[in-house]
Structure 1
């Protein structure tokens, strides 16, 4: 099924590319190209007119039916002057030159050398610059067809003028009459075939250049978008880390300072303990800020240039191993110092988990207990860490007002928890408890190695219990 879908996509991509190529129109000539065409066209025209007088001087037009010099010059102008606009109006130019060429041929007043070059240049230019590919193809084929039609007609009208044995001094393996037809056919097939093929090649080259420029522009835009997205993700990562590090400790310090104010006169000893806790929380907050900022200086360059793996993984690297599940007991102890009855228990056999998973679990617990302290009006909080088969489960529950807790998690804290869980493909449950209070439960999948170790430890413990 996947292979079939890929094939359909591939065929669709080819069809879309072909359709886009068929609809592409080559941009018109630049002002510099127009000036170049004008100079070249005028030069060719001047040389063609000069060649008319040179041909008359050597007797090429010496016959009773030869037109007047003015008409010969006029046909030379009609054939060569349109080259001044060959890239600006290629279709009209080619048709005009073809008609003038045939008219001059029929009148016997055609300057041969430059006129032949002009008709070849017209076929080439129409193939290279024709705005409508189908029309330019039809016009070129019609021009070539008329040229060969005139060639055969002229041979038919003049073949009886050739002596049976050929001109004096002629010799060869073919009859002179047949050779007089084959020679111009070969020459014209070669010239027109070359002009037709090279015109198409020039158009294809221009189309490839255009597509290359489009792809370059798209790549530049994509790079700019990626850089902008990396900057935004970096800002979000910094905001989340600052929230996680600062909010908890400031909340604890606020509660402890409030307790100190209430017992300062009645129980100075207890007030001193509260002030010591405030001092400890402040130092801890400063230490974590320093660790986080140091880690950001190390990884900030890679993230800013788009080499990071996203906001979630970036946050995991930012704090490194400074805050993980091994420090949850310290976190719970600070909650106790703030005056809240806190319990902490670990279930299952602990295994080594990656730093990113460990830190995500710690930050989720930290945010949950911070919300409990700030908003839940709770008296107890229960923190549980479970090592399950293939998963690490975090469970934080309190006995406060569930609605208050739900409202508290609608801001930056909830966003941070969801991002941390999502980056590890985990699940997050947040809401009031049935018997009152509020609960935050997150499950973070463990990598295969850690999951295998957890399963082995669980099986070993089960077997040992059964043996006893």
Structure 2
């Protein structure tokens, strides 16, 4: 059973490769035309109609019969004319196949019309013509008008029922009556199958795209929920644990250690959540702003931040680096960047026109941030609602650091943060 399927599949593959050859229709049309011409000559020489046609031409009214044994030359001329007519019909039923790929409708109409004429007027049909009709009907149903393919197959059952032709032509007509509609319907079925496969593939692509889009939207929603709700609560757990440990007088050492452990666990959870959010955002293919790496303490990013603040305030801002810069934990760098950003915003809002110094002190165990302005001092620089300062404290506490604000030496306002360094983070 498998061998039979393999053989049929191999034949089908070879047929498709042969049909895909650029000049295959021309070659097929020429070969069938040669076969049809040969068949037409043989049929014409042996056909009773050819002999009667020759006699009718050679014996006009009133003319005497020539000597016995000497065929009159006019009769030979009539037979030749009949052979020529048969040959032209044979060529007309096959040669149009050369145009079948480019003009399937025109080629099929010519082939069918010529075959019907050959059967009705000359009671003859070639095997090559029958094959040409089947190929033309199939091709027209496959890539042309399926209605025209069916209409061109209708005359053959009618001719078979009418019994117009006799002998071999009748047999071929009966074959055409059954095979021509079948060939047209096979072409139409093949076309419908191909269109169904294309539609199925298109629907599958649409369904996959919709599913992927839905999954991305769900991942983006989860990422937003984690960022806006869960991360905030975990951050608050860390802040409250640190606050309770530092502000509760007379707390036993064991209690302080437990609160410190709670803060460490919350900060570790925040770090893991940031990594998870990065994966979710990348999988969700968020917009470019969401996919950009989180800002840190790279010199280019700090300079861009300071340039934006200079452009917004029109005042001088300096960046001062102490110690060789080192790569810190991404969460620590993000917290430091946001603290600098918020401190510059507060200085611009509450001490307009004041110059600002941003200092970064790198040490093995800590990163020390100093953001100092020369404005009027804490009364003007501190926000009335305290949200900016409390937000900076929360960011520092979330990564295991601390933040202090107050008047700067010599006037102005100072924001000072101490964040874990590389060694402390690794520990």
TM-score, scaled to structure 1: 0.39
Structure exhibiting the larger radius of gyration computed from Cα positions: 2
TM-score, scaled to structure 2: 0.42
